[in-house]
Structure 1
Amino acid sequence: MTTLAPPLLRPPPHLPPTTHNLNSSSKDTTLLPLSSCDEIHRLHLPSLIKSCARYRHVSLGRQLHALSVKLGCLVSDPFVQSSLISFYASCSLHAIALQLFEELPEPNIVSYTSAMDACVDSEQPELAFYLFHQMVKSGISPDSFSLVVLLSACADNGALNLGCGAHALALKIGLELTPFLVTALISMYSKCSSLDSAMLLFQQTPEEIKSLQVWNAVIKALALHGHGSDALKLFEDMISGGFHQPNSITFLGLLSGCTQSGLVQEGKHYFNIMTTKFGIEPTIKHYGCMVDLLGMAGLLNEAFDLLTHMPIQPNYVVWMSLLRSCSAHGDVTMAEQVMYIIMHGEIEYPMGEVGHFAIMSGMYRKAGVFDRFAQTRHLVERKQKGKSRIEIGGNMHEFSVGFHGLHSSEGNKIIEMLDVLDVKLGKQKEEANGEHHSEKVAVSFGLIKSNSGMTIWVFNYLRICKDCHDWMKFVSKSYDREIIMRDCNRIHRFIGGNMHEFSVGFHGLHSSEGNKIIEMLDVLDVKLGKQKEEANGEHHSEKVAVSFGLIKSNSGMTIRVFNYLRICKDCHDWMKFVSKSYDREIIMRDCNRIHRFVGGMCSCRDYW
């Protein structure tokens, strides 16, 4: 809408009214008439592009991109350049955003920051790190905006040392300490499991800089680390001291803290007063926290009632939260009710998503209902076939499972490459029917078509399976290639040695370090008085990572581990035992929260 733009940057009044209606759901009414392009002044382009980004209007944004080329702004105007990069990143067209950046003749601080932001949004933090180093190397001094983006990448990747370096750089070059920057620093420290640093920074920050966003960041940090009571106390200090009035994000942090600490009554109290006392309407995320809180406490009926009577339509994420709680408490009957709603209600979930079937199959197996276990397991295995994309020489190539229909000479070369790799891997040709997973096909194509030593980038639409993950590690070592693969869940970077990423069982790790890790795990099993149930090497990855930390780090040093799944009870007990036996602090961030193991105790108090 025209009123959203500052007066000097509003579109000329003589343009057709439909051009300004960016919030309309109709694509026909929002397309910019090409005959009117000449009437748009180049000064209006950045604000128009930002409006397209705000409303995710791809078609109009592309027309403005074409217009900027026509007017010569793409080469000469840094504001147009950065606006277009941000626009494509906002619309999840990250490859185009980064391609735009690469084509800039002289990138500046604004375009670098926009490109880094696109990397963070597309879950490519390592590329954001690279761009930041390139920017500094080129003589461009970072500003607070570029540092905030870098800190966000550090937080997502658990890169504490790099985050500390960014903090030190900010102090060295004398950057002004703004609420924006302080919030990013607190978030980085907390997500990198350094709560003490986050709290120290908050305490040392002048009161005039402590905006509501800063307070919210600290409350969220305490919640993430399982200090729910401390988060509530900090909230009360903020209110009683008259510093700020809370907003929706404040209560999200509070409810998350109550959930992580099992503070059921407190959670109910704050969920109630956010509406009655502060006039804040709960969002789906607030209801999700309450469902988690009640479900984890075993109050499944209460959680179900909340979901079925809430004024907002519950989504797939919230129902899955309750389903996981049913699984944790072994309530098959309630789980079946939830499954029925997911399957037959108006619940939208991503194509190919089979998480609900996986949970139910596990519950049926534990309950001994093997006929239903077989049925649900079959549905899990019938999930959507995968597709992978790879860019070679500026062209994007897409492959599906088995790459059926590819009978060209290149197709034959790919088949030969896959056969060679199977032989090298010592693997039987189980996939002789051609049903190779698409990511293997894409990487084989990359090995054939790209020059030796070049990085292979692959984009996969589904989560990589364990077999393909092991295969990627093998290929990266055998061919001395870096392979970067983005699946639906995260970025995987396969490279010979520099990054230690452990998968379940760490198959294929036959080095001296691998043998030391196995020996360490065996010693710990003996100390724990545990039978060697995992003699086949199927140790969970967090155990492998901690064992590696015990071997490679000095006595007394903290071991920090980042896990992409929720820690299981067996590993949780194991971590407590190791922290006591070796007098080590172990800090582990899983997909749900941060666990701090000291002297045989965990910060979550065995509630997670």
Structure 2
Amino acid sequence: MVLATALSPTVPTTVAINNNIQTTTHHHRLLHLLNQCTSMSHLKQIHAHTLRTTSTAHPHTLFLHTRILHFSSLHHLHYALLFFHTHIQNPNSFAWNTIIRACARSSHRKQEAILLYHNMLCEGNVVPDKHSFPFVLKACAYLFAISEGKQLHAHIFKLGLDSDVYINNSLIHLYGSCGRLEDARQVFDEMPERSVVSWNVMIESLVQLNEFDDALMCFREMQESFEADGFAIQSILRACAGLGALSLGMWAHAYVLRRCSPELAHDVLVNNYLLEMYCKCGSLESAEFVFERMVKRDVTTWNTMIHGFAMHGRVLPALEYLKRMVDSGGLTPNSITFSGVLSACRHGGMVSEGRNYFNLMTTRYGIEPVLEHYGCLVDLLARAGLIVEALDVVSNMPIKPDGVIWRSILDACSKTGVGMEVSEEMAKRVMESEEGSGAYVLLSRVYAVARKWDEVGAVRKVMVDKGVAKEPGCSSIEIDGVTHEFFAGENEMSLSQI
């Protein structure tokens, strides 16, 4: 009896241990199934089995739930969000970071990533860690949510994470995307450690904000510590295109061929930036050289060539690239393609062809014309003296015309001397839709063509009274690796002075 009494308490203890072992083994089997999971249908079966056979009170169940959340976040975000809100009790930092990352990566859920971060703070059970911030900052950058981004920066500083290189890279990206270049530069300058990504993000921010000279300077500083990779080369090519710096662009091209991997040298994106750089710098032969040697081409490749040749008045080659694109099969012209094609027709004064391509765009390819397409067509017609037809196009547009369209017609009126009433009406429309001196200058030119000198003087007086100054034209040219800008009205400068 004494023995029995002494042993009796051990029976339920043994059963509990056995049950715990069985439960742990069961969790391991489910985890193994999750690791082998390849589809959402498979995951849903495992999820259902988990709900039926596990207890939410067991510590291993939370780990299973985080694995289910992780898989569903990669393949079915809506399912992941439902699972997170209904099945994960007291989520840990991994669960929060997983769902925040998934929303930040989605093009339609970025606002939700910021809200989830806010909820994490409000619940107070979990402190954000270094993995929490990069994706929330990415969402803020996409949404241009600078106020929320500044608050995140304050949280980062408060938590002592301001020296983390990944977080700082995300902060630079945020400030650069929101046009806060000084803030981006301050974060960059104060970083105790920089990676190649840090330099790439800073250079990209400068290029994005058209600070091309500073971008090139930053690139040169980068080379003292790191080899340039594909991302840096892409940014530098865009800077060269913006500056018209052909020699530096050619150096970047040579760098890609000599120093980078064959995969990068044949990368479509890199080659597209090369095409853009050569076209904008006016080196169309070099652009053709790159184009013909490209292993793979996408729609952007063809669009770049069409726009590049159209920009320099090479109308027939531009239209030939459209024909080659269609004949090559597999690629369909898009809205940007026809912007280039219509621009080519405008430069070449090809009225009939312009009309045909405009109709082809809508009838064969089902592309809804945007303001840029209408602008090209109106300008084409107006330059050809077809003012009435141009006005007819404007009156039938389903979208409101901007100042560029009205100015196209006004410019044509100033050159042809067509209808003073029409010219005055066009000038009024331009003044209503935009600021600047363009409309006043064109209207005074209309009056000058008609020899109405009193009206010319009146327009000039209005410009003086309103403080409207004629904006000088600006051109740039690269000489011996240095880009020089020239403004209309400046004194002539000899090559020796340059």
The normalised TM-score by structure 1 is 0.58
Matches within 5 A, 1:320-335: 320-331=407-418, 332-335=420-423
| Distance change in 2, residues 1:463/1:281 (3 Å) | same
SS at match of 2:332: coil
Partner amino acid, structure 2, of 1:64: L
d(CA) in 2 for partners of 1:238, 1:289: 21
Give the conservation status (yes or no) of the 8 Å contact 2:245–2:483: no
The 1:202–1:292 alpha-carbon spacing in structure 2 relative to 1, beyond 3 Å, is same
Q: 1 or 2, which has the higher strand percentage?
A: 1
Counterparts of 2:410 and 2:243, CA distance in 1: 29
Q: Is the 8 A contact 1:354 1:383 kept in 2?
A: no
* Structural mapping, 1:345-356, within 5 Å: 347=433, 349-350=434-435, 353-356=436-439
Work out the CA distance in 2 between the residues paired with 1:3 and 1:361: 60
Match of 1:281 among 368, 385, 407: 368
Is 1:202 the counterpart of 2:291? The answer is yes
1:180 to 269, 273, 279: 269
* Pairing partner for 2:281 from 180, 187, 192: 192
| Counterpart in the other structure of 2:178 | 91
Superposed displacement of residue 334, structure 1: 2.4
Q: Are residues 1:258 and 2:355 paired? A: no
Q: In structure 1, what residue type is equivalent to 2:310?
A: A
Sort the Cα spacing of 1:366 and 1:236 in 2 relative to 1 into closer, same or farther, 3 A.
same
Q: Deviations over 1:313-365 (max 9, x none)?
A: 11223322332232233334322121233345xx3x35xx2321222123223
Name the SS of the counterpart of 2:194 in structure 1: coil
Deviation (angstroms), 1:194? 0.3
Equivalent runs, 1:20-31 vs 2, <5 Å: 22=111
1:50 aligns with 2:138: yes
1:394 aligned partner: none
Report the Cα distance in structure 2 between the residues aligned to 1:362 and 1:368, rounded to whole angstroms.
9
Q: C-alpha separation between the residues in 1 aligned to 2:383 and 2:162?
A: 53
Name the structure, 1 or 2, with higher relative contact order (CA <8 Å, separation 6+): 1
**Pair 1:360 & 2:443 matched:** yes
Q: Does 1:295 align with 2:378?
A: no
**Equivalent pair of 1:124/1:491 in contact (CA under 8 Å):** no
Find the counterpart in structure 2 of residue 110 from structure 1: 197
Aligned pairs, how many? 394
* 2:428 pairs with one of 328, 332, 340: 340
Q: 1:59 aligned to 126, 131, 147, which one?
A: 147
The answer to whether the Cα contact below 8 Å between 2:229 and 2:260 also exists between their aligned partners in 1 is no
Report the alpha carbon displacement of residue 40 of structure 1 after superposing the two structures with TM: 4.5
Which position in structure 1 is the counterpart of 2:246?
160
- CA change 1:31–1:60 in 2 (3 A) is farther
Counterpart-to-counterpart distance in 2, 1:166 and 1:283: 35
Paired amino acid for 1:362: R
Deviation string, structure 1 residues 294-313 (Cα, Å, up to 9, x no partner): 12222222222212221111
**Secondary structure of residue in 2 paired with 1:68:** helix
Instruction: State how far apart, in whole Å, the 1-side matches of 2:403 and 2:117 are.
Output: 33
- Contact preservation (8 Å) 2:371, 2:401: yes
Name which one, 1 or 2, has greater alpha-carbon Rg.
2
CA distance in 2, matches of 1:375, 1:223: 39
Quick one: percent identity of the two aligned structures?
33
Counterparts of 1:32 and 1:381, CA distance in 2: 53
State which of 325, 348, 370 in structure 1 corresponds to 2:453: 370
CA distance in structure 2 between the aligned counterparts of 1:272 and 1:364, rounded to whole angstroms? 36
The equivalent of 1:124 in structure 2 is: 211
Q: Aligned pair 1:148/2:257, yes or no?
A: no
- What is the DSSP-based 3-state SS (H/G/I as helix, E as strand, rest coil) of the residue aligned with 2:223? helix
TM-superposed deviation, 1:259: 1.3
Unaligned runs of 5+ in 1: 386-461, 467-488, 493-497, 518-547, 554-608
| Structure 2: runs of 5+ lacking an equivalent | 1-75, 82-96
1:28-47 equivalences in 2 (<5 Å): 36=122, 40-47=128-135
Query: 2:300 maps to what in 1?
Result: 213
Displacement of 1:111 after TM fit? 1.9
Query: Deviation digits for residues 241-295 of structure 1, max 9, x if unmatched?
Result: 2141111111111111111111211111111121211111111111111122112
**Which residue identity does 1:195 align to in structure 2?**
L
Taking a change above 3 Å as real, the CA distance of residues 335 and 463 of structure 1, as seen in their structure-2 partners, is closer
